[in-house]
Structure 1
Amino acid sequence: MTPTPLMPLPAEALRDRVVLVSGAGAGLGRATALRCARAGATVVLLGRTISKLEACFDAIAELPDAPEAAIYPMDLSGASDRDMHDCITRVVEELGRLDSVVHAAAHWQDFRAMSDVLSSDWANTLAANITAPWALTRAALPHLQAVEDGCAVFVDCECAHTPAAFHGAFGVSKAASRAMVAGWALENPGIRLHTFDPGPMRTTMRLLGYPGHPAESYPLPEIPAEALSALLAPDAAHRAQIASQVHWASDPPPSSAP
């Protein structure tokens, strides 16, 4: 439960802002990209599968008055420091600024005992889930510091704070991510840093991992995307309880409608 409510993004709340979303081809990343575009942001769609990014690009193009999105294909599990810096440099050169980064991409193979995890999967999972978000945020940091209320949001999960059996490299990477963000926030980097746990969602990853659970038992990613996107609002920086809280869970935000 969050101690202070996150209000839904009002219309135009992110107008003239640039938001980079990793994992934008599907699930929470796609839902967040679309929500930010509806609020007026220019969204950079980062991901591995071009066809999925193009589908998200087309969906944004159909939104009334949404700025045109940008596509940046990249495989985070194999990206180098140079790749990260080149990505951020190109975004800023072409769009003029960078206000927020949402790390929604995730690598997950399957549930298995820690001793059965393959070395290759261990390396790829940690590279995509902890090393890449750190490196991308580090590259973006000077640009996020240069704008009013720059922020980075790292998608979290329950296994990050409550260890669970058979979560393997994925669970380790998420726990490491939570520790990284908490420590980085204490260093006062000049931007807001948050982790965000969306809870179980109706995504391909979730349905593959829990095949015995009916799909309708999970909310669509659009529901937690409402709360996640609210963390990107400029208003969040002016609300002390929000700005100072590092870890967030996916309580649906209250409706702003009368």
Structure 2
Amino acid sequence: MVGKSLKLLAITAVLMTAAGTVVALAETVKPLEPKDCDQVRAGLEDSLPFGPGFRRMQIDFPKNAKDIDGKVCRLLTLGTGIHMEGPKVNSLAAMVKLVQGAMTDRGWLKTPDTSLFAEKSMPGRQVFALTRKNAFCVTTVVIDMVGGITLSPKVVKNGKVMLGKLKPHQREWWISVDCFAVPEPPKPMAEAGAGEKPMPAMKTPAKPATAKKPPVEEEEIIEEPAKTKL
């Protein structure tokens, strides 16, 4: 699931500074400092109404066609509907709203620039970004069917699996928050020193690979949310 979602994560060609200046990157980005990443994790775990916590790790910046590399601080949690769903989590939209709220309550902002990261390219998956100072956090929320389950004819419609018809233990959630610091904007070409090389031209990005899986159809309201057990 992690490998599949990494391939699905679409990173935009441009990143913005906190002031709103568009910066084309062809250099190395740095992961959010551990203490700052831990603050993001604490805010998520304190606010979100489900049991599984977020694991913090440092990974390579996802491969892209824009010469952007470096490291990101990744916060990752996953679980089935039994672990993740409840009265406040009964749809993809509800989960996205809760994760956004947990971060905006602690100073992370949704701006017109961060909308460049927004993506909902397929049923059951949504990407958004928030910014604070010179940092960005790009969040991917995925809900899918658990692999290898036996499907009842009742959950299939027109050849597609209806996620909302599955039982909670047959659905899996995957939430990834990738946080990194944006470097200082590069000098304009006119200001570059005689010994400095100009930034390379940006290439047209290749379309992200689509993982092979049974087609699914997202239903906004999950009909049978799991009941929280104390």
TM-score by length of 2: 0.29
Q: Which has the larger radius of gyration?
A: 2
Larger relative helix fraction: 1
Structure with the larger RCO, 1 or 2 (CA within 8 Å, 6+ apart) = 2
Larger relative strand fraction: 2
